[in-house]
Chain A
Amino acid sequence: MDLEDQGRIKELAEEYGKDGIVVLLGAPTTEASQVQFETVTTGDPSYAGPLAGVELGLPAYHVFEPTVKAAIDPDQYAENIEVLEMGLEADAIVDALAGMRAG
C-alpha cells in the first residue's frame, strides 16, 4: 500500500482507536484487496511502510462485501457500483477477505 496512505491511516488509528474507525476498500483485484486488508489489520506485508509490524486491527471491508452492500441504498448501489461489481472479480474478493477474517 502507498506509504503516504499508511502514514495517514496510522495517525487516524492513533487518534480514534480501532473501535472508532471503519476502512472501506475499492481495489479491483483479489491480491490488492488482500494486501490492503492485511496492511490495516496485521501490518504492512511488504515491510516497507509506516505500518510494517504494526497491528492496527482495524475493521476493513471491500464495498462488494454483503455487509456493506446491505447498508447501501439499493438504487445507489445499482447506479454506481453494480456494473463495477459485474466487471471485476467480486466473488473472489469477497471470499478472500472472508477467509482472511476467519484466520
Chain B
Amino acid sequence: MTAEPITLNGKKLIILGERDGVPAPVIEQAIAGLGGEVAYAATQCFV
C-alpha cells in the first residue's frame, strides 16, 4: 500500500533533528521544494 504524501505546502515547519538520527539540515534539504516554510529547526545531541 502506497501512503498518501503529506502536504507541507503553506505550512510552517518545525524540524527536530538528532545527530545520530536525521539531523535538521538533512531534513530541510530533503523537504526543500515541497512548499513548507521552516519556522524552527534544531538538532539535538543526546550525549
Contacts and interface: CB of A to CB of B under 8 A. Distances in A.
B30 A77 contact: yes
Interface string B7-37: 1101111111110111110110111011010
Contacts of A28: 18, 20-21
A67 B26 contact: no
Interface residues of B, number: 35
Given A63-B27, A72-B31, A12 B14 contact: yes
Contacts of A4: 42
A101 interface: no
A61 B42 CA distance: 15
Given A66-B3, A70-B3, A71-B8, A84 B31 contact: no
Given A2-B42, A67-B3, A77-B30, A22 B22 contact: no
Interface of B: 2-8, 10-18, 20-24, 26-27, 29-31, 33-34, 36, 39-40, 42-44, 46
